[in-house]
Structure 1
Amino acid sequence: MFKDTKFKPMKKSIIFFIVAVFSLTSVFAEKYALIIAIGEYDQSLTGWYPISAQNDVPLIEHALADLGFEETNVMFLTDADATKEGIMNAMNELYSKVEPGDHVVIHYSGHGHQIFDDNGDEIDGLDEALVSYDAPMNMTEGYDGSLHFRDDELGEMINKFRIKLGPSGHILLFLDSCHSGTGTRGAAKVRGGAPPLVPENWTPQAKSDDKVGFGINSDQGSNARGVSTENLAKFVVFSGASANELNYETYDDEDNAVGSLSYCIYKAFSQMQEGETYRQVFAKIMAEMATKAPFQNPAIEGDIDYVVFGGDYSIQEEYFSLTNVKSDSIVEINGGRLAGINPGTIIAFAQPGTAKLTDYSNVIVTGKVTSASNFTSKVVLDNKNKFKNDQSAWAFIQTRTFTDQKVKISLDPKMDEDVKVALEDEIAHSSFATVSDDNPDITLNYRKSRGAKTINVTDAHYNQNLHKISNADTKTLKADVMSTLNNYAQGIIIKDIDFYDENFDVVMELIPVKAEIYEDGSFEILYYPEPESILVNEIPEFSTSNMALIKVTNYGTRKAYFNIIDIQPDGFINPVIPTVYDVDGREYYLEPGETAVLKNTLVMFGPPYGNEIFKLIATDKPFNLSATIQSHGNSTRGDASNIFENALQVQNGQNSRGASTVSAKKRDEKMCTYEYTFKIIE
């Protein structure tokens, strides 16, 4: 008894000490920054003209001060000191200072350039690169690109930081430079804009069948192997312009020429409220950019729904953007029939950065959809409102209608009264289902055991169990059932989409591979089995031990953006690419005649067994259906998480899921669909 009494307080002290250490790590995390600004390029030496990068420095200093960075922890590297070697040395010095749990910002102001790809990881055969002080604008014989700071190299450096900073750390990357571009679109000074730097008679490797697409390097993340993604620091990158766009300079409040992203970062972080996420701050950047640089689209990638320099994750409710403010009564948004938006749908327009419509304090105005195409909708506002620009509001769906023909649901008569009433009420208010015992599509079979309430979602036509949902809490059970029914209804719509346009004729197939998967989610392709090895009676057939990559080809005459949706044998659907981490899906495109093997997405196979379909939808503008596709209940099958965590593709992911092929033959303006059918066996 004496020993117990003696040691209990000691145990409590040890536990308290450990908790205190972790708390102090979060509260007293050090903040370090490196500002790289190259404006005084030596044009006679490299060909690059000077820009106003030096004026960006005080803007970023001010933003860092607002974020709590001490002056002594901010490093500067400017002009002639910012050679390729100088940049590497500065980053290594910064790396030596940081400790687990610290917060890091790296800012770059300077020219950006596209340069010939040296490892086959880019779909267009070009790497994006930062232009160090000594990097040339024009190609000379024998130049190997070593003076440019390629995205691959920057990705490896960021990965090192993420490992060292650990799960409570954060690293932000600000890139105020062009990603690419071949000319100017106005009088403002452009950061970059030179033609791609390529050798004479150069042909991009990525156009061959065996190259990875979309800038994702299958070898990247090697430094993180053995490190779980859960143990990596949060990473977010803010870019001044999207791929294939130029980055223009603008003017600050004192009429000094400055980088457009630097200025908007300064304004956005000065307006940031406590508890806001990176996505919400980016909404402020977009709003500023719409005025300061209306011809470019800044980009954000990474862990964008975490609180700025915090550990809390905020769930962002699905929203759409304004694409055209026609008048003070009529606007267009970038969501249409494929997102469940049809004539009659009610839209609420809220302040940019709104996470959820839990209350209506942020609602600016509401409106009703009067017409909808596959990807856009026209909304007539209930009250006149003059939106300043396309970044003035986010559009949230108050009611969603996927189809006029609702899924008929039959409820088990043995269902507990509270569960039955809750489901009847929720289904009655839904836009995709109705309660009916007259030739139902779905039967909800019910049983209760030891307090757990279980519902089996059953295909009433074939008496086949589709999904099992169990929970003791009626409210949670109801939410999971409705999510499942929503996904099932979406699957019907997606499967029935059938369009053909020769301009966007993109097809796909699965290529069998053998790969080694690492703990951090990255993988390495070991070899390629013969394609015929998966064919059984000319139908592709995969077992749970098989793996595959996706191969896509554009036989059309126009540049085509595409999504791929998995339709399971049980009718449920999962996004394959893009995912919710890809934001707007602009990375997934093919030029006419191009073929790419998506080596960033490893497809694996599991139940349910039977015939499965990968449905490819191609069109002329970037789109991302993953946020629209509702998960089905509490299932973990079909992870669909080839996590594209940042614009530099630091890390790969995997995609868990999936012939004669059937090409759609209906015609629709600027849209084409394609189905790849295969079989999954045990």
Structure 2
Amino acid sequence: NGNCVIDLGTLSGVFPGSQVEISDDDEPQFMIHGDVIHAGLNTAEVQLKDSIALNKTHYYNVKITQYSENPITISLANKIDKSDNLHQVINKLLDIVPSRGADDNSEIFVLLEQKKLILQTKDGTNIFETDTENDTSAWQNDIKESIRAYEQSQFLRKYENRSDRYEFELKMHAVECNSISKILNEVGDEIRIGTCVQFEVINHGIAGAYFSILDIQPDNLINLVLPSIELGHSPDEYFLEPGQSFKTSYPIEIAQPVGVETLKLVLSPQPLHLQKIIASKGRNTRGVESYSSFEKMFSDLYKTNTRGARVKKNRVEDISVISKIFRIII
């Protein structure tokens, strides 16, 4: 049927979406490729590119040519009264299985309060709100986009990819808002709205790298802090040799919303064009063949429906991602 089972599974980092190459030592010309479609702990089912009969008693070489991240899954619970017509509308729109709709351990809850439809995360943060008197077509795309943005930001918040190749540090200094040269102190775990900061990136290692800083806001919006495209700079300007450091030449004022903010320092051997992906929401495929593994992963996160989405895994030697987390307070 064009499928086969390999003796590698999730314990080996093989998830659906991974790509496989099968070869045979007895036949040097034999080589076939396929995609993992199901994965257990120690085995995985592969859909072969070509329909070919494999000998079940013969030993074949299996090589994973492209690993995939664990599929993104977000659990939703519909808390709207089942007697309300909106309950079924939401189940169908968001593909919520009724038997699991009341799971109190879900990550997002769908609520109806005073004729307002609300998406609320398990920590009590509202990520979407609309008046139910509005026509369904007016908000159904917005509610899906809110869930996608939450999934994307949650994935990036947790994402780490350390490479022995790079040894960088990201610092945040509190500065005078009208005098960038006057550093007040290094920012700790909390920072108040209205505080001005300066970013500093230091290369402590023996290899140079291009660097970018992504900012994931408490409301799940994602911004590119560096490179500073809006000031006319380009990604290829942001490179640090061993022993070099970089400081932003302008103050950045901390603003709403309050909550946990996450910065990601991304290090790579080539410039990353992340702003193009953000601006196009991953729809700009021109030149996608030249995307780095991180750019491809970042672009994949903008898929319209990421519940169960498969995201290609970065090769560790290619990229390094370092997190800095702090809380914005009033």
Give the % identical residues: 18
Separation in 1, partners of 2:69, 2:139 = 23
TM-score scaled by length of structure 2: 0.57
Paired residue type of 2:240 = L
Separation in 1, partners of 2:173, 2:262 = 15
Segments of structure 1 that go 5 or more residues without pairing to the other structure are 1-341, 346-367, 372-379, 384-400, 516-524, 633-666
Cα distance change of structure 1 residues 674 and 508 upon mapping to structure 2, 3 Å threshold: same
| 1:428 alignment counterpart | 95
Separation in 1, partners of 2:127, 2:208 = 39
Separation in 1, partners of 2:236, 2:260 = 30
| 2:193 alignment counterpart | 544
Paired residue type of 1:586 = D
Q: Contact 1:568 / 1:611 at 8 angstroms: preserved in 2? A: yes
Q: Please identify the structure whose Cα radius of gyration is greater.
A: 1
Separation in 2, partners of 1:498, 1:477 = 34
Separation in 2, partners of 1:625, 1:442 = 28
Establish whether residue 489 from structure 1 lines up as the match of residue 151 from structure 2.
yes
Establish whether residue 680 from structure 1 lines up as the match of residue 328 from structure 2.
yes
| 2:102 alignment counterpart | 437
Establish whether residue 406 from structure 1 lines up as the match of residue 68 from structure 2.
no
Separation in 1, partners of 2:92, 2:233 = 34
Which one of the candidate residues 201, 212, 222 is aligned to 1:563? Answer: 212
| 1:586 alignment counterpart | 236
- 1:25-36 alignment runs, 5 A limit: none
Separation in 2, partners of 1:584, 1:495 = 25
| 2:299 alignment counterpart | none
Q: CA deviation at 1:496?
A: 2.1
Establish whether residue 474 from structure 1 lines up as the match of residue 136 from structure 2.
yes
Establish whether residue 553 from structure 1 lines up as the match of residue 202 from structure 2.
yes
Q: Contact 1:507 / 1:553 at 8 angstroms: preserved in 2? A: yes
Which one of the candidate residues 245, 253, 263 is aligned to 1:614? Answer: 263
Q: Contact 1:415 / 1:447 at 8 angstroms: preserved in 2? A: no
SS in 1 for 2:137: helix
- 1:633-672 alignment runs, 5 A limit: 668-672=316-320
Which one of the candidate residues 17, 20, 40 is aligned to 1:343? Answer: 17
Q: CA deviation at 1:442?
A: 0.9
Cα distance change of structure 1 residues 530 and 580 upon mapping to structure 2, 3 Å threshold: closer
More strand as a share of residues: 2
Q: CA deviation at 1:440?
A: 0.9
Q: CA deviation at 1:555?
A: 2.1
Paired residue type of 1:476 = A
SS in 2 for 1:500: coil
Separation in 2, partners of 1:456, 1:580 = 35
TM-score scaled by length of structure 1: 0.30
Aligned residue pairs total 236
Q: CA deviation at 1:599?
A: 2.4
Separation in 1, partners of 2:83, 2:280 = 25
Q: CA deviation at 1:550?
A: 1.4
Establish whether residue 501 from structure 1 lines up as the match of residue 149 from structure 2.
no
Separation in 2, partners of 1:422, 1:344 = 35
Cα distance change of structure 1 residues 546 and 620 upon mapping to structure 2, 3 Å threshold: same
1:115-172 deviation line (CA, Å, top 9, x unaligned): xxxxxxxxxxxxxxxxxxxxxxxxxxxxxxxxxxxxxxxxxxxxxxxxxxxxxxxxxx
Separation in 1, partners of 2:101, 2:233 = 38
Separation in 1, partners of 2:102, 2:237 = 46
SS in 2 for 1:613: strand
Separation in 1, partners of 2:322, 2:214 = 11
Q: Contact 2:80 / 2:86 at 8 angstroms: preserved in 1? A: no
Structure number with the bigger relative contact order (C-alpha 8 A, sep ≥ 6) is 2
Cα distance change of structure 1 residues 580 and 457 upon mapping to structure 2, 3 Å threshold: farther
Q: Contact 2:80 / 2:110 at 8 angstroms: preserved in 1? A: no
Cα distance change of structure 1 residues 527 and 404 upon mapping to structure 2, 3 Å threshold: closer
| 2:184 alignment counterpart | 531
Cα distance change of structure 1 residues 629 and 527 upon mapping to structure 2, 3 Å threshold: closer
Cα distance change of structure 1 residues 623 and 422 upon mapping to structure 2, 3 Å threshold: farther
Separation in 1, partners of 2:201, 2:258 = 25
Structural RMSD (CA): 4.2
